[in-house]
Amino acid sequence: MPTLFSIGALSNAAGCKVETIRYYEKIGLMPEPARSEGGQRRYHQRHRERLAFIRHSRELGFTLEDIRELLTMSEQHGCADDIARRHLETVEQRIRSLSALRDELGRMINECEQGRPGECRVIEVLSDHRKCTTEHGH
C-alpha cells in the first residue's frame, strides 16, 4: 500500500507552506489529491515529487507559466531546452541590468564630495535620471 501524506506532512516533507500547496492545486500545477472519508487531502509520493520539481524550478527563477510548460514537456517526455534557453536569456538580461546598476551606484558614490553639505552627488543623481551614465531598468 502506498504511503499517503496529509497536507501538513507534505508541507513538512517539501519545506513549503500549506497555503503554497493549495495555491499550486488551485492554479493546476499540482494534481488534485484524493480525499479521505472525512474530506482531508491525501497525497502520494508522486505529489511530493511534483512539488519538489516545482519548488526547484522556482528556486532557479522559472515563472509559473514556464513551470507549467516544463511539466507538460516532462509528461510528454519532450525536451525543454527552448524553455531553459528563454529563461537563460532573461537571467542574462537581469545580470546586465544589475551590472549597470552596480556601476551607476559606484560612480555616484565615487563622485560624492565626501559628505560636504549641499554637494552630495548621490542626491543630485537620484534627483535627475539624466545625470546617470547607464540604463539601469529605466
Longest dimension (CA), the chain: 75
Q: Could you give the CA distance from residue 131 to residue 95 in angstroms, rounded to a whole number? A: 22
Amino acid identity, position 18: V
Cα-to-chain-centroid distance, residue 94: 13
Express each pLDDT in 17-44 by its tens digit: 999 999 999 999 999 998 888 888 999 9
Q: Which of 18-22, 76-80, 98-102, 117-121 has the highest mean pLDDT?
A: 18-22
All domains of the chain, ordered by start, with CATH?
7-75 (1.10.1660.10), 96-131 (no CATH)
Q: Could you give the CA distance from residue 93 to residue 115 in angstroms, rounded to a whole number? A: 34
Intra-chain end-to-end CA distance of the chain, in Å: 57
